[in-house]
Amino acid sequence: MNRIEQLFKTKKNNILSIYFTAGHPTLDSTVEIIKTLVEEGTDLIEIGIPFSDPIADGPVIQKSSQTSLENGMSLKLLFEHIKDIRKDVNIPLILMGYLNPVLQYGIETFCKKCNDVGIDGTILPDLPFDIYQEEYESIFDKHNIYNIFLITPQTNDERIRKIDNASKGFIYMVAASATTGIRQGFEEYQQDYFIRIEKLGLKHPRLIGFGISSRETFQHACKYANGAIIGSAFVSALEEASDLKKGVQGFIRNIQ
């Protein structure tokens, strides 16, 4: 059983997923960050693949991606860094990034390598759902890699049900109609969106992302979904930490 599926079978609520960019703040920090997140009780980790043009991301993650690339991180090197991660880490690990680096690596080669090193899933926001189904789904299935799909406040109910029927793992609910970033709370249209999705009675669990930055916003999101994803706020904390391990520990303890 895929570890993502196992997680949602054993834990139904308050699932904490953390995103960070591989190779940031330093080239060799990725494994230490993952291990510390696990030690602090994080349920799921999204490892960002750095890209030169991260159009869906806000300034914090854009900067982390630029720093990572300047540090020398690449998809090939990322796989090398995490090749032994499953000796110490049992929670689900997802690679999140843009389609271009994956295409350059080769879809089949990428999925096989993900399986080899213990990656459970991917989030590729610029991979169209229909193209995935037509061209790539069989490859992902072959290597037991769950590709997670995003929905937004603008996604209509028919499309959401189509995504739900084709999904594996969970559905990523984008909370805002903008780029990623740190926000102080949810607006009325976002809460209406959360309620609308809840009323659809989807068969797959849901995690809310974009704008989750504090214990308050995490708990609020968890009222409407199985859990939430924190990205920009955590990346900022890494940037500011004088001691990486203590920075990770302090951030997670302030959320839970």
pLDDT band for position 57 (50/70/90)? confident
Overall average pLDDT of the 8-35 stretch: 97
Active-site amino acid positions? 46, 57
- Is the confidence at residue 179, as pLDDT, over 60? no
Q: How do beta strands 15-21 and 121-123 pair?
A: unpaired
Cβ(173)–Cβ(209) under 8 Å?
yes
Question: Measured between alpha carbons, how far is residue 152 from residues 16, 176, 190, 234, 246 in Å?
Answer: 20, 7, 10, 22, 34
Average pLDDT over residues 201-224: 94
N-terminal to C-terminal alpha carbon distance within the chain: 27
pLDDT digits (tens, 9 = 90+) for 86-117: 999 999 999 999 999 999 999 999 999 999 99
Residue 24: pLDDT band with limits 50, 70, 90 = very high
Tell me if the pTM is above 0.75: yes
Number of H helices, E strands in the chain: 13, 8
What's the rounded mean pLDDT across residues 27-46?
A: 98
| Domain architecture of the chain: domains with CATH | 3-8+14-255 (3.20.20.70)
Query: Which of 1, 12, 75 lies closest to 222 in space, CA to CA?
Result: 12
Give me Rg for the CA atoms of the chain. Answer: 17
- What the block records as the tokens of 173 is 């609910």
Amino acid 176: pLDDT: 76
